[in-house]
Structure 1
Amino acid sequence: MTRMRASFVPPVAVDPASASPIYLQLSDWFRQAILSGQLHPGQRVPSTRRLANELKISRIPVLGAYEQLQAEGYLETFQGAGTCVARAIPSDLAGPMRAKPPLPSEGSEPAARRISRRAALMRTPPQTWLSNLGAFRVGMPALDHFPAGQWSKLVSRHARSLSVDGMIYGDPMGYLPLREAIADYLGAMRGVRCEAAQVLITTGSQQGLQICAHVLFDHGDRVWMEEPGYPGAHQALRTAGAQLVPVPVDEDGIDVAQGARLGPDARAVYITPSHQFPLGTTMSAARRMQLLDWAARQQAWIIEDDYDSEYRFGGRPLASLQGADRHGRVVYLGTFSKVMFPALRLGYLVAPRDLVEDFCAGRDAIDTFTSTLYQRAMTDFIREGHFARHIRSMRMLYQERRQAVLAGLREHLGDRLKVIGADAGMQLAGYLSPEVDDVALSRTAAGQGVSVRPLSLCYLEPPGRSGLILGYGGASLEEIGEGTRKLGQCF
């Protein structure tokens, strides 16, 4: 067992005024800490000299306590490693002490511990299909093709030259050079009309949604949601107290006319127009104009999540909805998690000009600011051209993987999965026959090491349509071939 360094002195309690000798107080404290699991077998304890100095007592009682504990088998000494908790403490003695729950009255069931309604809304059922990587984990980029060496150099560059400015609390809006780089990128590539002052750095689109909810909504405000739509948005907005109104999605995107009938008093709408999650369709120009007109007339907000917009394989790239907004009703969300790697935890939000101070205050209230070190490295990654090169490279790779998935599905599933919306992003969706339980099928596939997400869980109002969502960004060609074969066998 690996022994831990005694970098910290445990919170040993002694009372000089007690009638009990100090060496007995010390031995009792260590014995109880070991039996309760506070100190673990093999963990190093402070030297007698160091503990005596910390407690401002003589070293003699500390020596006496340690000798007593060694004699009883609770401590042992190692050559060159000092004194450690004995590794042979019986497992039935050493372990965390648990408080006993109160006994229920005779004939009654124990009452559940009370939690907030918000916490209950955050719960999700077990999702076994999320335990696998490779084929076909949704939202996973090609991490094996990420230029990790170049990224490491940039992080090391800023870590080595870390100044006081890089270690203090940062601007809640984010590192200004990164905001400037993002504003330039969004203007050139996505047609977003903004200045760096409007860009707010987040830890991802999920936090962007939470900030939007805190700034824009009151409890009970109604919000249109695409049906089917992104479960993460359902969760973020529900826990903020929003009342979600499911609005059907067709091949042109969210049905604005239907939304106006279902939720005429809605405060906002959440959409993924460039690559609808989960169906993969693209919102038509006519629907975009309808939605912008509705938002302007109703004084409502549009939260545009520009999901997977970097990867489009058919036709010309589409500009953002925000770029066509003339009334300042659109809040634009983006993330680097899918383009770079999920653990980076960097995203961005473009706020309307007159709400910048409100969004800054909302960001500050949630968790102050985002890690400055990664923001600085990301700035160089964009400015030095690595970001654009990586996107170009991944676009070709994902197109190849998409074709492999389509071919594999045709070969092993035939007409059992009707693929839709496969011309963009890092995933595709398909409809199953109504009699097929997509949740059960996803669990069966997970048992075979294949991760497919059930489409029905993306609906707010059950029963949702049966189908599967397959991510191909993080799956090699070999994994795709094997994954489609196993998926076919699951039927």
Structure 2
Amino acid sequence: MVLALELDIRLPDKNTGQLVSQLHRQLRTAIVSGRLRAGTQLPPTRKLALELGISRNSVVAAYDLLLSEGYLSGKVGSGSFVNEMRGLRSGQRRRPDSDFTSLIAPLWRRPPTIPSTSVPKTVSYDFRFGHPDVAHFPHHIWQRLSGRAMRQALRRGEEAGPPEGLQVLREAIVQHASFSRAISCQPENVVVTNGAQQGFSLLAQVLVQSGKTVVAIEDPGYRPARLAFATAGARIMPVPVDAEGIVVSKLPRDAGVIYVTPTHQSPLGVTMSARRRTELLAFAETHSAVIVEDDYDSEFRYGDRPHDALQTFDESGVVFYVGTFTKSMFPSLRLGFVVSPPWASDALIAAKRVADGQCAAILQATLADFILEGHLARHVRKMRSVYSTRNDTVLKSLIEHLPDLLEPIPTSAGIHCAAFFRTPVDINDVINRATNAGIAIEDLDRFWVAPPPRSGLAFGFSAIDESRIKDGIALLAKILT
């Protein structure tokens, strides 16, 4: 294919005798730099001469030089093509990579690793947590609503939506949060995000002063949230967790931000007690700190009375509530939200505008209809029953097959449960044995900042049914004992 030669070729006056050498040099530079890619057919000599306002003989002479030097192949008159230039091309200068690493922020010179979400092909028993059971999701309803949202968007010819999210979705989120979590908020205080992780990143940008702000996090805790604050330059302070949740008495007095998962602690699964919640809110008010409440799988409760969100009891405007639809619907949805105190809403919306402008409008409209028509509430009720049975199956199987090895941690919510080893073990050896047997399982050690006092395992049950839960734990017991 012959391409127009869109190069800024500047030639001297015709009387200087430099036409051929200058044309040759500029074409060679374009080839060496990659501006003219391998396989590109140069314009015919007659056409290029006409475009440049010079004689055809001058163009033929320049092409002949490039042919003789190996930059072109073919013959003048039948087409001339740019050759592949392998190795270090003449005219290029390349500095070693080490010259550039100083430009990378220190945290990213050895990027922190986040476990892969993909399932290895060799896995027979998938106990990883955070992966909802999509087989039960009403895909046909979602498809119908998505098609309707697409047609409506095309008819309206709308431009990009507001950074804080479509009004209809924010109103739907207010209704959902009020019904499911007793949260009282207004649409103007809701910011729609691309998943909970973007919510953490936006909050880190708004709340953290690099090198100054102390962020207290649960230890063990959810690592991606910790990294979001760390990349913003926060001083991370791990705080221990016990059977009642984060230990408020261990919070640093200069903490500016406190990150917690009160309804279903990640990864231990404990629920923060009412007494501890009162202490935490009082601490934040007394020390002028804010709380980031991650309520990632609170919809799924088993046998226990509902626990209201921390934000429900916040009378001082110190709690930022982060929610997501990933766990209750399907992972690739990637939509979440932040309920912000009124004093921080404008800053959070501005940060969202800078980050990516907006979330996908058609996806937002589809989700709004899914909530407002009651499909989300029905799906959550259905999955609460499914997950409750699986949670019981995990606990019974651990008691039956591994009573002397693992001590389950009681939980009344969420889509995973955890267990501590009763005696010291080589956790890497345990994980390797499980992996070799086709069992994908999470170890608790990687959630700690400080050295873990006890090793343990976390059993996700959202992506595995009851029969395979029993078989998988029986097999785990066999390879460990």
TM-score computed with the length of structure 2 as normaliser = 0.80
Measure the CA separation in 1 of the matches of 2:438 and 2:87.
35
| 1:248-263 mapped onto 2 (5 Å cutoff) | 248-259=240-251, 263=252
1:244 aligns to 2:232 (yes or no): no
- 1:332 has 2:333 as partner: no
Aligned amino acid, residue 19 of structure 1: V
Deviation, 1:101, is 5.8
1:469 aligns with 2:452: no
Residues 417-426 or 230-239, more deviating? 417-426
2:189 corresponds to: 198
- In structure 2, the partner of 1:156 is 147
Please say if 1:374 is aligned against 2:363: yes
* AA aligned opposite 2:198: Q
What are the superposed Cα offsets for residues 378-399 of structure 1, whole Å, 9 maximum, x if unpaired? Answer: 0000111111111111111111
Change (3 A) 1:244 1:33: closer
Q: CA separation of 1:95/1:480 partners in 2, compared to 1, >3 Å: closer, same or farther?
A: farther
**How many residue pairs are counted as aligned between the two chains?**
449
What one-letter code is carried by the residue in structure 1 that aligns with 2:334? R
Q: Which is worse superposed, 456-465 or 113-122?
A: 113-122
Distance 1:387 1:214 in 2: 31
Inter-partner Cα distance in structure 2 for 1:192 and 1:472:
28
Judged with a 3 Å threshold, the aligned counterparts in structure 2 of structure 1 residues 101 and 468 are, in CA distance, closer, same or farther, namely farther
Amino acid paired to 1:254:
I
Taking only aligned residues, the RMSD between alpha carbons, in angstroms, comes to 4.0
Alignment of 1:77-476 (within 5 A): 102=96, 113-114=101-102, 115-120=104-109, 122-124=111-113, 127=115, 131-132=119-120, 135-163=126-154, 167-219=158-210, 220-259=212-251, 263-476=252-465
**1:240-275 CA distances to partner (integer Å, 9 max, x unpaired)?**
11112211111111111222xxx1111121111111
What secondary structure is seen at the aligned counterpart in 2 of 1:267?
strand
- The range that moved more, 461-470 or 170-179, is 461-470
Contact 2:271 2:412 in 1 (8 A): no
* Whole-Å separation in 2 of the counterparts to 1:218 and 1:365: 18
Same amino acid, percent of matched pairs: 35
CA distance in 2, matches of 1:478, 1:39: 58
Distance 2:93 2:261 in 1: 47
Cα distance change, pair 26–174 in 1 and its aligned pair in 2 (3 A): same
C-alpha contact (below 8 Å) 2:4/2:43 kept by paired residues: no
* Cα distance in 2 between the residues matched to 1:130 and 1:444: 20
Tell me the CA shift for residue 113 of structure 1.
2.7
Distance 1:242 1:310, change over 3 A: same
Decide whether the 8 Å contact of 1:130 with 1:137 is kept in 2: no
Residue aligned with 2:304, SS: coil
| Runs of 5+ unmatched residues, structure 1 | 1-5, 76-84, 104-109
Letter aligned with residue 113 of structure 1: T
- Partner AA of 2:347 in structure 1: D
The 3 A distance-change label for structure 1 pair 280 and 56 is farther
Q: After TM superposition, which residue ranges in structure 1, 4 or more long, deviate above 4 angstroms?
A: 8-18, 20-34, 45-49, 72-75, 93-101, 127-131, 164-167
Instruction: State how far apart, in whole Å, the 1-side matches of 2:38 and 2:271 are.
Output: 57
The TM-score with structure 1 as length reference comes to 0.79
Greater Cα offset, 452-461 or 431-440: 431-440
Contact 1:221 1:243 in 2 (8 A): yes
Highest CA radius of gyration, 1 or 2? 2
**Offset from partner CA, 1:132-165 (integer Å, 9 cap, x none):** 3761122000012211121111111111232486
The answer to whether the Cα contact below 8 Å between 1:129 and 1:451 also exists between their aligned partners in 2 is: no
- Taking the aligned partners of 1:309 and 1:435, their CA distance within structure 2 comes to 32
Segments of structure 2 that go 5 or more residues without pairing to the other structure are: 12-18, 75-80
**Which range is displaced more, 133-142 or 19-28?**
19-28
Structure 2: distance between partners of 1:157 and 1:266: 47
**Native 8 Å contact 1:122 1:235 kept in 2:** no
CA 25–297 in structure 1, closer or farther in 2 if over 3 Å, else same: closer
Per-residue displacement from partner, 1:449-479 (whole Å, max 9, x unpaired)?
3221221111111245311112111123344
Per-residue deviation, residues 344-391 of structure 1 (Å, max 9, x unmatched)? 110000011222212211222222211111000000001111111111
> What is the CA deviation profile of residues 19-38 of structure 1, one whole-angstrom value per residue up to 9, with x for unaligned ones?
3899999999889979x9x7
